[in-house]
Each structure stands twice: as C-alpha cells, then as structure tokens.
Amino acid sequence: MKLPFAKMQALGNDFVVLDGVSTPLTLTAAQCRKLGDRRFGVGCDQILVVDPAPDAQADFGYRIFNCDGSEVGQCGNGARCLARFVERQGLSTARAIQVATRTTRMNLELLEQDWVRAELSRPEFQPARIPLDVPAQAERYTLDSPVGMVSGGAVSVGNPHFVIEVDDVARAPVQQWGEALTRHAAFPEGVNVGFVERVAADHLRLRVFERGVGETPACGSGACAAAVIQRVWGHTEARVRVDLPGGQLRIAWDEGQNVFMEGPATWVFEGEIEL
Ligand SMILES: N[C@H](CCC[C@H](N)C(=O)O)C(=O)O
C-alpha cells in the first residue's frame, strides 16, 4: 500500500508521523522496522500515529512505535511533533489538544515559532507502575548488572526510565551501560537509561540510551524523568533547563504535580512510501 507520511524531528530525535484519522491504520512490527530503517525505509527513531479520540476527554489517540517495532506508551518529543502535525494537516484548528496513549495522556499547546508545550500526567514512582521488580519503593535502586553495581532513580512518565547521576555526561559510558541496563531483568518491560550531570540547581546535562532504539540526540520523556528524579533527590529547583546533545528542553515539576515540558517540534519533509 502507498502510505503518505511526514518526517519530523525534535532536537534531532526524529520521527515518521502518520495520519490514522483520515484513514484507519494498522501497522505490524515489521512495517515499523521498515519505516524506521535508515537504508531500506524512511529512517527514524520512532513511528508516531495520530488516531481518532479513544474517549470523550481526548481529542486524538496517539500510538508510538520504536524503530525496533516495539509499541510503547510515551514519546515526549514525538508528542510535540504530533501537535504540530495535527495543525499542519488540518486535523484540528485548536491551539491546545489532549492526546491519549496506551499508558497516559497529555495536554499539548502550540507556542510561538515551532515550540510546543506538553503537560504530562503525574510521574509514577510505585515500582509496580513503572514497572520495576523490587521488594520496596526507594529514591535510589542499586542493580547488579554485567557492568557492575549501578545505582539510580526509577520513574514512569508514561514509559519507564532509570536515571543515573554522572560527573560528566561527555564521558558517560552511555553505549556500554545503556545496552547492559535497557533489558535488565528488574525492568520486565525494558527501560530507557538516562545519564544526568547536574550543572546547577536549574541546569542539567543529559544523554539517554532509549529502549528500542539506542542513544538518541534527545529524549523528551527522558528529560522529564531526569528533572523529576533530580528534584526528588533535592538537587534542583522546580524549573530546570535540560541540555541534551541535540539541544535544550525546559522542564517544570514539583512534588504531586504534572510535568511540563517546552521545546521545538520541526517539520522536515513529507513523502509517500510503498509499504
Ligand atoms: N524509547 C522510548 C520511546 C520514545 C521516547 C523518546 N523519544 C521521547 O522523546 O520521549 C520508550 O521505549 O519508552
């Protein structure tokens, strides 16, 4: 079938975005892998599908597939791109929409230039809701892994994140530790692994080894997770600037609140692929 798509990116985290509203769309894992293939397909980190609203509260459904074909429940950078896609495709004239995924829901608001504000639901720290198989909830967990004992914080922002504090992100063992931890048995659904350096109480540096992808230039949910964990540890203020290799996101969160993220969402090109 001929499939129209948009190619979009957010700080270099890139996406194939599909309209499942105008034409109902089902995708197999193999089709997602082809779309994500940077030689035999379009090439992207994630495939995003906007769907009709699943309930009266939401304006649209939002499906997310990593380029390995796995379907997941959150993509923060992708959500900002989805809001821009919905506007550009004329699927909505509203400045603010609510989208629902298989695990969570977000309010998205178009800002000036190509920036978008995303309001994510309250972070989940209960192990069962991350999910994380440990005997008790804690601010820090120490995992025995192929790279030794590794400590970090764990949280879900609609997808699972393990956040490790490092002195210098530039020298962090992202590939080696990311590969060793993303499929750690303690995380039954896998996990995104963040490496965060605290520059100041309002400034973090972050690199993320993404579940189902590997290291990406930016991870929106990872930036939210790192900001939340650093706040829980008492290291940061409620508003922080998060510098990732691909650029900067602005995150705001305080205990018991939803998480707010602001950042760009950029249209690159549109096309059609035989799938
Ligand atoms: N790899 C993630 C999904 C994409 C997250 C990232 N691209 C973002 O911007 O949040 C997972 O398996 O949960």
Q: Do 143 and 101 fall within a single domain?
A: no
Q: Do 139 and 112 fall within a single domain?
A: no
Ligand 1 atom closest to the Cα of residue 45 is 7
Q: Do 132 and 43 fall within a single domain?
A: no
Alpha carbon of 179 to ligand 1 centroid (Å):
15
Q: Do 91 and 167 fall within a single domain?
A: no
CA pair distance 99, 79, nearest whole angstrom: 8
Q: Do 249 and 146 fall within a single domain?
A: yes
3-class DSSP state of 146 = coil
Alpha carbon of 159 to ligand 1 centroid (Å):
7
User: Does residue 1 have a pLDDT over 90?
Assistant: no
CA pair distance 7, 103, nearest whole angstrom: 24
Boundaries of domain holding 206: 127-257
Ligand 1 atom closest to the Cα of residue 222 is 10
pLDDT for residue 91: 98
Ligand 1 atom closest to the Cα of residue 75 is 10
Q: Do 141 and 249 fall within a single domain?
A: yes
pLDDT for residue 76: 98
Q: Ligand 1 site: residues with CB under 6 angstroms?
A: 13, 45-46, 64, 66, 72, 74-78, 159, 192, 210-213, 216, 219-221
Q: Do 190 and 80 fall within a single domain?
A: no
CA pair distance 204, 6, nearest whole angstrom: 31
Express each pLDDT in 5-32 by its tens digit: 999 999 999 999 999 999 999 999 999 9
Q: How many CB atoms lie within 10 A of CB 7?
A: 18
Express each pLDDT in 122-155 by its tens digit: 999 999 999 999 999 999 999 999 999 999 999 9
Q: Do 203 and 221 fall within a single domain?
A: yes
Q: Do 104 and 217 fall within a single domain?
A: no
pLDDT for residue 8: 98
Q: Do 142 and 117 fall within a single domain?
A: no
Q: What is the mean pLDDT of the chain?
A: 98
Conformational region of residue 247, where left means phi above 0, alpha means psi within -120 to 50, and beta covers everything else: left
CA pair distance 172, 37, nearest whole angstrom: 27
The catalytically annotated residue of 32, 44, 81, 219 is 219
β-bridge partners, 225:
none
| CATH code for the domain of 33 | 3.10.310.10
Task: Note whether 85 and 8 are within 8 A (CB).
Answer: yes
User: Does residue 193 have a pLDDT over 90?
Assistant: yes
Query: Does 75 participate in catalysis according to the annotation?
Result: yes
Phi, psi of 61 (to 5 degrees): -90, 160
**Overall domain count for the chain:** 2
Alpha carbon of 272 to ligand 1 centroid (Å):
24
pLDDT more than 70, % of the chain: 100
Q: Do 113 and 150 fall within a single domain?
A: no
Helices 76-88 and 220-232, axial angle in degrees (round to 10) = 140
Task: Note whether 65 and 44 are within 8 A (CB).
Answer: no
The catalytically annotated residue of 67, 75, 81, 224 is 75
Q: Do 133 and 117 fall within a single domain?
A: no
